[in-house]
Structure 1
Amino acid sequence: MYMAPEQARGDAAAVGPWSDVYALGITLFQVLEGRPPEWAAGYRLLQREPAAPIRPPEGPGRVPDELVEIVYRATREDPGERYPDGAAMAAALGAWLDGAQRRDRARALVARADALRPAIHLHRDRARTLAATAREMWDQLPPYAPVEEKRPVWALEDQAREEARAAARDEVELLQLLRQALEEAPDLDEARDRLADLYRLRHADAEARGDAEAAAEAEAQLRRFGARRHAEYLRGQGALTLLTEPPGAQVRIYRYVEQDRRLVPRHVGDFGPSPLFEVPLDPGSYLCEIEAEGYEPVLVPVYIRRREHWDGVPPGGHAPVPILLPARGSLGPDDVVVPAGWFWSGERSRSKDASLPWRQLWLDAFVIRRFPVTNAEYIAFLDELVASGRQAEAERFVPRYKGSADHPGAAIYGRRDDGGFCLVPDADGDLWQPDWPVTMVTLEGAEAFAAWEAARTGQPWRLPGELQWEKAARGVDGRIFPWGDAPEPTYAATRDCRPGQPTPLPVGAVPTDRSPYGVRDLSGGVCEFCADAWSPTGPPVSAAGRVLPVVTGGDVRPGRGGAWSWHHALCRLDYRTRHRTGVRRSDTGFRLARDLTTG
């Protein structure tokens, strides 16, 4: 039997129901600890020595904090600090016991939720694998394939959707279980941590898909359940490392912000001289403007994802690749440098059949012309063929109306008295303008022009590779149009950009159709020939993500970009078209590109 300090002192006036509370507290301590407090030996109590503070009970397992607090309060030396009577202490113990039982029930719900996680991962893995296999099979089938050949692909797509639905059903159940756990025990860390982890995964997935609405919803839930635990992730700060060749360049950094459904660069700060190492930047899309005395200025877009270090290290490399700055005067007025580096290619959800899969790829540096080739430039090429005695080639390459193999269509250009070519009204009475992009030419004519320009300038001009064209148009952040993701009809020369009968416009007529590098007329104007042989899966890419050298050949080539006669929704930068080499189209032209050389 234990006595309270006031009983041991014989202070009868101080004895009351709270004294029994003290004895109950010591008894509870002994139950939890397996022994009485060290100072509780009878001879010390009889000597009326003051009670020493009680150490927290440890017991055979971890004692809940709430129970420790009950023991502390019951065994305070000052009677006024104890429970007033046994009933009050019993009420505290009852409340604790009810809470403990709730926590036990909550932990059981968490365990049930945990048991669902492997199945969710399995269903999602299966859905991804089945969907990827179906896409590969579609890539091998022509659109006109009979239904019998399409049925196996449809079956795979159905299986993929069922697996995705199963994962979604299990995840809904998992969320319900975790929320029920928090209803039982609102402060249960296990439930809050698992919810936070789930919403972090959802947030990362939404950001990767470019779904701003879903990302905002997931972030709000993540802050609710895991703001402290995931603080670094939520802060999300990334970094930029940027080297130049030569070093010592000034770097101005701009961040893209949306204005009037366009991404416009807003100045962040001036940095340099280069190299820059791990400059902290918030997640987002940026544009670096690089200038050095004696060299051409270069624009370098960078896209920093959450907690990502954009460092310019190529596939299989260990050090950043410097941005090459061309010597002053080595570029023509409309030559645009596209520096080496990573970029996002394809369509995020692959919901469009005429697109490539969403992936990050590395491309070496190249130069591309700012505008498509115009009628004036093409006439200069034809005139030189005539002047050099190559009349038959000029007749073969001149823009013509559609004809047949035996009877080529009539020439659209007229002839001058000196034998050269000129613009005349076409069959509809429209007079083609010198600064319109050239159309109604064959791929052979486009490649002949590139060879002529290469000989004239001493630079290895050619048609751009398909993925070179895409990077030059989109930059590195995977935007759908040169100006961003909004399909605004007036931002490119398409059939919807102005009232009346659609016709081509002069190159550069719509300034908003401009890529981060400064390349123009990409979503509108003319669809453009690319150099690669057509492949349903796109140009060759290494396993590490490096775009391999262009492989030409074949009688079908890819086309990229929108056109003056197309509805604006079709003028996406991830949209691919197929062009037979001998076919002439009023919506198709070309521009030139070449590798970047130093000097």
Structure 2
Amino acid sequence: AKAEEAEASARAAAQAEVLREERLRAALSHVPELPEAHGRLARLYQDRHAAAEAERDEAETIRYASLLRTHASALPATSSQREEYLAYLADEGRLSLLTDPPDAAAELFRVVAEGRRARPEPVRALTERPVSRLRLPSGSYLIRLSAPGCATVDYPVHVERRRHWDGRRAGEQGERPVRLPPADAVGPDEVFVPAGPALLGGDPAAVDGLRSQTAWVDDFVIERDPVTNGAYLQFIHALVQAGREADAIRWAPRINGDAADHTYTWNTRLPVVMIDFECAQAYARWRAEHTGLPWRLPTAAEWEKAARGVDGRCFPWGNHLDPTWCKMRDSAPAQRPLVAVDAYPDDLSPYGVRGMGGNVREWTATVGGTGVVVVGGGWRDLPFDARVTRREQVKATVAENDLGFRCVIDIPSK
């Protein structure tokens, strides 16, 4: 009953809005320069423009921007409303940037759509230090930071209309520099994700995704690819060599998770699958012991940020999907289900992390009400499952042929 009442209320509100719009247009047909009518229509179209922009509806965004400009321009030149609306349409924001070390080189790229995929296009070097409230057209950008002795860092930023990106937590006072880790802190098969705010959720087409929210995510290093059979085999061999054969049998991937003879043939470049949550955790613990570094599973928030950056995109590569860009059900019917972790070069996140749109879903360290949160799309999934805000809750004992994982590590503070 409550749902029906809500639907009825929404219909009534929509009908009332249409009626107001018709009356305002009728008023302008009698008095074309009536400022009250132009002002109210401008406000209406600004609200609709903002909603269309939030929903990534390009056609409606363009339409309402045009209508807003028409009615804003018709307001008297001395009107504060006119100035406000035209400033809104100027579509600019501000960027501030501090780095650690402070003299790091910074190259600014504008993220543009090319062939329905997002691509960084060079703009210029940011030579001023610090960068303070630099005026930029709103949109997504990538800043590539480099300094001697440090790892190169790709730092995505999202400059919103009439907003200021400074990379700080909400309400935080003081400076928040982007840290470049030591070069030896990031391995050749690893990617550094710098600390900062990230837009999580907000994709209504994603399965069990979060409501749109901005969250702070500390910096971390993530494996560029899911853990492969080859890497997992080293773990199993190490257990056997240490006399832990029972653990090796327990944590070995198998078609059915109970008997020792249900194993299968491995290709070392394929992502490891048929492992449950305990297997993934055991591998992370072993790797931490083996390397002396605190490797672990990523949280769902860390995984989502690594997959989409900070601009709220739907897929690692942008807002559109083609089955040739990631391994999913419609990609290549004649191809074997799983593919090598580097088989789809377009399945690449803003930070350079691979395979977050398809091939295997992944375990995270986040536990929900009914299971462990599993993220990403797999080789047998439909297109909407490749959306990076997808979050399933899966029982920890489940082992499936499209479910793998990858590890992350925190970078210690100085």
Normalised by the length of structure 2, the TM-score is 0.94
The question of 1:329 aligning with 2:184 is answered: yes
Q: Which residue of 1 aligns with 2:71?
A: 225
- How far off its partner does 1:480 sit? 0.9
Structure 2 residue matching 1:532: 3-state secondary structure? strand
Matched residues in 1 for 2:129 and 2:217: separation?
A: 22
Candidates 300, 314, 338, aligned match of 1:480: 314
The question of 1:285 aligning with 2:285 is answered: no
Q: Which residue of 2 aligns with 1:355?
A: 209
Matched residues in 1 for 2:145 and 2:338: separation?
A: 35
From the superposition, tell whether residues 273 and 433 of structure 1 become closer, same or farther in structure 2 (CA, over 3 Å): farther
Q: Which residue of 1 aligns with 2:79?
A: none
**Runs of 5+ unmatched residues, structure 2:** 74-81
Listed one character per residue, the Cα deviations across residues 20-39 of structure 1 (whole Å, up to 9, x for unaligned) are: xxxxxxxxxxxxxxxxxxxx
- How far off its partner does 1:212 sit? 1.5
Q: Which residue of 1 aligns with 2:168?
A: 313
Query: Bigger CA drift: 462-471 or 230-239?
Result: 230-239
Matched residues in 2 for 1:244 and 1:355: separation?
A: 33
Is the 1:312–1:320 Cα contact (8 Å) retained in structure 2?
no
Q: Which residue of 1 aligns with 2:363?
A: 529
- How far off its partner does 1:436 sit? 0.2
Is the 1:502–1:565 Cα contact (8 Å) retained in structure 2?
no
Matched residues in 2 for 1:357 and 1:397: separation?
A: 36
The question of 1:160 aligning with 2:6 is answered: yes
Q: Which residue of 2 aligns with 1:445?
A: 279
Matched residues in 2 for 1:585 and 1:572: separation?
A: 20
- How far off its partner does 1:434 sit? 0.5
Matched residues in 1 for 2:129 and 2:190: separation?
A: 24
The question of 1:366 aligning with 2:220 is answered: yes
Q: Map 1:259-270 onto structure 2 (within 5 A).
A: 259-270=114-125
Matched residues in 2 for 1:160 and 1:363: separation?
A: 36
- How far off its partner does 1:583 sit? 1.6
Q: Which residue of 1 aligns with 2:385?
A: 570
Q: Map 1:20-59 onto structure 2 (within 5 A).
A: none
Matched residues in 2 for 1:320 and 1:506: separation?
A: 43
Matched residues in 2 for 1:329 and 1:215: separation?
A: 45
- How far off its partner does 1:275 sit? 2.5
Structure 1 residue matching 2:215: 3-state secondary structure? strand
Q: Which residue of 1 aligns with 2:58?
A: 212
Listed one character per residue, the Cα deviations across residues 298-324 of structure 1 (whole Å, up to 9, x for unaligned) are: 111111111111111213312342111
From the superposition, tell whether residues 353 and 374 of structure 1 become closer, same or farther in structure 2 (CA, over 3 Å): closer
Matched residues in 1 for 2:132 and 2:40: separation?
A: 36
Listed one character per residue, the Cα deviations across residues 98-133 of structure 1 (whole Å, up to 9, x for unaligned) are: xxxxxxxxxxxxxxxxxxxxxxxxxxxxxxxxxxxx
Structure 1 residue matching 2:69: 3-state secondary structure? helix
Listed one character per residue, the Cα deviations across residues 360-395 of structure 1 (whole Å, up to 9, x for unaligned) are: 222111111111000000000110111111111101
Is the 2:39–2:72 Cα contact (8 Å) retained in structure 1?
yes
Is the 1:526–1:587 Cα contact (8 Å) retained in structure 2?
yes
Q: Which residue of 1 aligns with 2:247?
A: 393
Normalised by the length of structure 1, the TM-score is 0.66
Q: Which residue of 2 aligns with 1:402?
A: 256
Matched residues in 1 for 2:292 and 2:97: separation?
A: 31
The question of 1:243 aligning with 2:98 is answered: yes
Structure 1 residue matching 2:334: 3-state secondary structure? coil
Task: State the identity as a percent.
Answer: 40
- Structure number with the higher strand fraction is 2
- How far off its partner does 1:409 sit? 6.0
Aligned residues: 405
Q: Which residue of 1 aligns with 2:107?
A: 252
Matched residues in 2 for 1:274 and 1:530: separation?
A: 38
From the superposition, tell whether residues 261 and 467 of structure 1 become closer, same or farther in structure 2 (CA, over 3 Å): same
Matched residues in 1 for 2:368 and 2:327: separation?
A: 26
Q: Which residue of 2 aligns with 1:88?
A: none
Matched residues in 2 for 1:158 and 1:284: separation?
A: 38
- How far off its partner does 1:449 sit? 0.6
Q: Which residue of 1 aligns with 2:26?
A: 180
- How far off its partner does 1:508 sit? 1.4
Is the 1:562–1:570 Cα contact (8 Å) retained in structure 2?
yes
The one of the two structures with greater contact order (alpha-carbon pairs below 8 A, sep at least 6) is 2
Matched residues in 1 for 2:323 and 2:255: separation?
A: 29
Is the 1:401–1:409 Cα contact (8 Å) retained in structure 2?
no
Matched residues in 2 for 1:323 and 1:411: separation?
A: 49
Matched residues in 1 for 2:329 and 2:26: separation?
A: 55
Matched residues in 2 for 1:381 and 1:274: separation?
A: 46
Q: Which residue of 2 aligns with 1:436?
A: 270
From the superposition, tell whether residues 367 and 504 of structure 1 become closer, same or farther in structure 2 (CA, over 3 Å): same
Is the 1:248–1:273 Cα contact (8 Å) retained in structure 2?
no
**Which structure: larger Rg?**
1
- How far off its partner does 1:273 sit? 5.2
Q: Which residue of 1 aligns with 2:238?
A: 384
Q: Which residue of 2 aligns with 1:593?
A: 408
Letter in 1 for 2:124: G
Letter in 2 for 1:311: D
Is the 1:255–1:287 Cα contact (8 Å) retained in structure 2?
yes
Is the 2:207–2:385 Cα contact (8 Å) retained in structure 1?
no
Letter in 2 for 1:497: S
From the superposition, tell whether residues 394 and 595 of structure 1 become closer, same or farther in structure 2 (CA, over 3 Å): same
The question of 1:342 aligning with 2:188 is answered: no
Listed one character per residue, the Cα deviations across residues 188-219 of structure 1 (whole Å, up to 9, x for unaligned) are: 11111111111111111211222222111110
Structure 2 residue matching 1:449: 3-state secondary structure? helix
- How far off its partner does 1:463 sit? 0.4
Listed one character per residue, the Cα deviations across residues 51-107 of structure 1 (whole Å, up to 9, x for unaligned) are: xxxxxxxxxxxxxxxxxxxxxxxxxxxxxxxxxxxxxxxxxxxxxxxxxxxxxxxxx
- How far off its partner does 1:535 sit? 3.6
Q: Which residue of 2 aligns with 1:35?
A: none
Letter in 1 for 2:177: P
Letter in 2 for 1:179: R
Is the 1:193–1:226 Cα contact (8 Å) retained in structure 2?
yes
The question of 1:500 aligning with 2:334 is answered: yes
**Runs of 5+ unmatched residues, structure 1:** 1-154, 413-425, 537-555
Matched residues in 2 for 1:578 and 1:331: separation?
A: 31
Q: Which residue of 2 aligns with 1:189?
A: 35
Query: Bigger CA drift: 218-227 or 273-282?
Result: 273-282
Is the 2:191–2:352 Cα contact (8 Å) retained in structure 1?
yes
Structure 2 residue matching 1:256: 3-state secondary structure? strand
Please provide the CA RMSD for this pair: 1.6
- How far off its partner does 1:507 sit? 0.7
- How far off its partner does 1:326 sit? 0.5
